[in-house]
Amino acid sequence: MIAGTFLNIAHRGARAFAPENTLPAIRMAQRLGSNAIEIDVQMSRDGELIVIHDDELSRCTDVETRFRARTHDRVGGFMWADGAVLDAGSWYDREIAKPLQERQRCLRDLSSE
C-alpha cells in the first residue's frame, strides 16, 4: 500500500447490493469503484470449485427445499451437479424485504436510499 492511499476491497463482491459471491455482486463492486474483489471458493465432493462463503449451503441457497435431509451438510459433501441446481440469489430479495432488525447482519445498515 502506498502511504496515504486506501484499497477498496469488496468482500464477497458488493454483497449489500446483490447476493454475495455472485456475478451481480462482483459487477456492482466494479461499478462502485472497488480496487479488488475477494470471493470465497470451496471444493465440492467431486473436486469442482464452488464460490460460496459458508461451510453449509443453508444461509444463501434453497438447499432446505431441494435437499431437505441435507440442509446442514457441508459444501464439500455435495457433488458439483447438486450445487448447480440450487438457487443462490433469491434469499437476498427475501432478506431486503424484512424489517432492518430482522435482516442478516450485513444487510441491516442498508436503507431504501
6 confidence band (pLDDT: 50, 70, 90) = confident
Cell of 24: 451481480
Residues 75 and 94 in one domain: yes
Report if residue 108 sits inside a domain: no
- Pick the closest to residue 32 from 46, 15, 20 (CA basis): 15
Which residues are known catalytic residues?
Answer: 11, 53
Number of domains in the chain: 2
Residues 50 and 88 in one domain: yes
Using one digit for the tens of pLDDT, what is the confidence trace for 72-85? 999 999 999 999 99
User: Which range marks the domain in which residue 66 is found?
Assistant: 41-99
pLDDT of residue 110: 61
Using one digit for the tens of pLDDT, what is the confidence trace for 21-68? 999 999 999 999 999 999 999 999 999 999 999 999 998 899 999 999
Q: CA 16, 19, 38: angle at the middle one, nearest 5? A: 75
